[in-house]
Structure 1
Amino acid sequence: MNTLDITRTIDIHAPAKKVWAALTDPALITQWFGDTAEFIAEPGAKGEFGWVDHGGSFRILVEHVEEPTTLVYRWAREFDVDPVAGNSTLVRFDLEEIAQGTRLTVIETGFEELADPQGAHDGNATGWRNELGELVEFLESAEAAPA
């Protein structure tokens, strides 16, 4: 593991099916992760996540899917460019059923290939802390659709 990798593990009081839906359904993704989402959970699918505050959309390429346990996509660091080695990172979500619900582990790698590795890492480390907090809040609220 590279020292610039980001790893976050959280426990969510919700079934894995519900967590998976929040990671893969564009209507649910926008409840916790960005303002817009185009996403299909299929290897090779292209999509994007947009944030109004950041002024644009970040494109993604889905690399691996094992529903409902593993999702991997590459996402571009810059707005409106296709993600390729050197301008993107790889994000992996692993879901594990636990007695209280679901344990979600997020691992983001590839920062060392970026123009500003430490800056990108630090920004995304803070981002994941905030976004995963919003995911837990959303999934554990009455607003999230039942599984």
Structure 2
Amino acid sequence: MPLTSVSTADGSLLISWAFSAPAQAVWAGFTDAALLSQWLGRSLECEARTGGTIVVDHSGGYLSRSVITDMDEPRRLATSWEFPEEPESRISIRLGDTEAGAVMDFVHYGLGTLVDSYGPGWITHLVYLEAAVAGAAIPAAQFWPLHSTFETLYTASVAADAVTG
């Protein structure tokens, strides 16, 4: 798992990630319905264009809805993020190529007090994205066990940061 950093500030979550795949392949994970379904949830709608809508079924009747507000393939993607019973927030993704693959800065803005609950979830989803882009999808049944592990690690890391702060 090439998670390179996680930080929170002002109710926003920033995750930096290194992929062994090129930026174009990672980009497809965000804009191709079949790949999106392998890492985020079942894609119900995936219009990969500025103004387009992405709707994902996370199971149990939980649908996320995003509108693409800005995109520059394969470098930049910005969307709204709507999830049931939560205030609307925003996501920004920046991709760049390296000799080893791609690097990504993923920022989820406007989470407020939900910021720490989103950390383990996005890390788990990004592990699934990495696997999907590599052509080695992880079974959906592994999501919650992985999430539980990342939640434990994330909580310990946040506690350690508060002490050393």
Instruction: Give the letter aligned to residue 140 of structure 1.
Output: A
The more displaced of 96-105 and 39-48 is 39-48
Structure 2: gaps (5+ residues):
1-7, 138-165
Q: Distance in 2 between matches of 1:36 and 1:68?
A: 20
Structure 1: gaps (5+ residues):
80-85, 112-116
The more displaced of 43-52 and 87-96 is 43-52
Does the CA-based 8 Å contact 2:35-2:132 persist in structure 1? no
Q: Per-residue CA shift, 1:47-85, capped at 9, x if unaligned?
A: 311111x42212111100001100110011327xxxxxx
How many angstroms does 1:16 deviate by?
A: 1.2
- Counterpart in the other structure of 2:98: 98
Q: Which has the higher helix share?
A: 2
1:43 aligns with 2:50: yes
Whichever of the two has the greater Rg, that structure is 2
Q: Distance in 2 between matches of 1:47 and 1:138?
A: 18
- Percent identity reads 24
Q: CA RMSD in A?
A: 1.9
Tell me the SS of whatever aligns to 1:132.
Answer: helix
Show the 5 A alignment for 1:81-96. Answer: 87-96=87-96
TM (norm. structure 1) is 0.80
The count of aligned residue pairs is 130
How many angstroms does 1:40 deviate by?
A: 1.5
